[in-house]
A and B are shown apart, each in its own frame.
Chain A
């Protein structure tokens, strides 16, 4: 691994090369590597999981790690590794849908607010402020209470309790970007408002949005797991990390490993995406700074 990365061509020759390349620091590589691994596991879980995650075998219950069950079995004799893998599908899948909803809502509402400005902007932003005052987890719990339990409602609740942050960010970025000279140049060249937005404003918004999104993935995973742990989200037969921790509570003194595995899965996933987010922020921020100075 290290030998391969050391053999990469040195970027010294890249004077004034477009899109300057530099090596990622090792936390970023670990984060990116783990994130890719987790996404692969989530996508391929049905193919690579050694056992059916829902197959109950009461004769094999509460076993320790073995060759047949690498991480052992739970109180119903289900294979923990397989359940963790399928849990990744649920957690990351839910997060993917949440992020998509948030991006659509954030860009739609924040973009509108920033572009139109004036009274529309004031009304939308006061609406956002209302959402921002309530802690997201409490808001999400409230929404699940209103909508009812289940994964779909958890996804909706988390998206609806987070969009305001993104709308605010998008609005701020739109306000700065739309005052750029090149936006004015595009306008005087006769480009339509929509084209100006799509070509000159949206890319700049995305660059920043990606950083916040990546940093928030860990946060969202904790929300999904937390709501499921409380019994508000995914219902028990489905393999999900929060549900697994909830199930394992009764065995905390006799089989603490049952709690450790899903806990570790959450920890590793959150850490991986946080490392990746930090790296993206460091990589993208100086570029934007330089662009602002030009």
Chain B
């Protein structure tokens, strides 16, 4: 299939909506460059259009938002955004508890993901158990029978990663994967993503507003402010010499949380 894809590129994404009858640009000509084995962070304050970009990349703009520009290429070939879903990209969502249907077991969720690729039956179960073991879920057979409300947030987030692995998509879109988790779980989930990048060569788009997460994981950083890209570069450069004001604000806010970290010590 498309597992060979190694380069996912988004160009000129523009999203507009109308507010009080006037057009309002939500995302303005944004470009992203994802490569396998690399973590690209998309950072910005709340409401800067990060999650919207994640959805629009896959052709899922919410009602009321119109996409007026944007081109997706996979290994240089033009690709319909809808064709990415579950094949080229797998998505990990922000709130694990609401991302699972409360009426369905984990087995049903795994079946759904695999059915999108045409895998069913015993083979589906074997793959589900393998993926769950890979993300560190103990006793996967038991977990498969659980409903979301019987699981902790950390377990659900691991399960979501397992589902992402089941799709065997080369790229992972992680939309604030740690925002809803406590600090211990955050560290575990980040370590897990890092390990998956190393083991499977996943290309990751990490959407976050937490510069700590960026410092920990990202290779390159794109900073978004009011729908516009204001800075782009390797993570060290963005931390050491932030050029744009929004970037400086984000870095300063992060460092203010850790007063004993001198700026030059930042990774």
Nearest CB on A from B152, distance (A): 12
Say yes or no for A8: interface residue by CB 8 A criterion: no
**A74 CB, nearest partner CB in chain B, Å:** 51
Indicate whether A294 reaches chain B with its CB closer than 8 angstroms.
yes
Residues on the B chain within 8 Å of A200, using CB: 101
Q: Say if the beta carbon of B40 comes within 8 Å of chain A.
A: no
A18 in contact with B150 (CB, 8 Å): yes
Find the A residue at minimum CB distance from B89: A188
Chain B, interface SS category: loop
Interface string of A4-45 (1 = CB under 8 A from B): 000000000000101000000000000000000000000000
Cα separation A199 to B116 with both chains bound (whole Å)? 13
Contact with B along A281-294 (1 / 0, CB 8 A): 00000000001001
| Residues B86 and A191 in contact, CB atoms below 8 Å apart | yes
Stretch at the interface among A59-67, A132-140, A177-185, A234-242: A177-185
B16 CB–A CB distance under 8 Å: no
Nearest CB of A to B253, in Å? 28
Instruction: Give every chain B residue within 8 A of A192 (Cβ-Cβ).
Output: 116
Asked whether A18 lies within 8 Å of B86 as measured between CB atoms, the reply is no
CB pair A185–B99 under 8 Å, yes or no, is yes
Question: How many angstroms between the C-alpha atoms of A294 and B99 in the bound complex?
Answer: 10
Is A127 part of the binding interface, using a Cβ–Cβ cutoff of 8 Å?
no
**CB proximity of A67 to chain B, nearest CB, Å:** 54
Instruction: Say yes or no for B58: interface residue by CB 8 A criterion.
Output: yes
Pairs A–B under 8 Å by Cβ, sample size 26: A18-B147, A18-B150, A117-B63, A181-B93, A181-B95, A182-B98, A182-B101, A184-B55, A184-B93, A185-B99, A187-B60, A187-B85, A188-B55, A188-B173, A189-B90, A189-B163, A190-B113, A190-B116, A191-B113, A191-B116, A199-B104, A199-B112, A291-B102, A294-B102, A294-B148, A294-B149
User: Residues of A at under 8 Å CB distance from B?
Assistant: 16, 18, 117, 180-182, 184-192, 195, 199-200, 203-204, 291, 294
Chain B residues with CB under 8 Å of chain A are 55, 58, 60, 63, 85-87, 89-91, 93, 95, 97-104, 108, 112-113, 115-117, 147-150, 160, 163, 167, 173
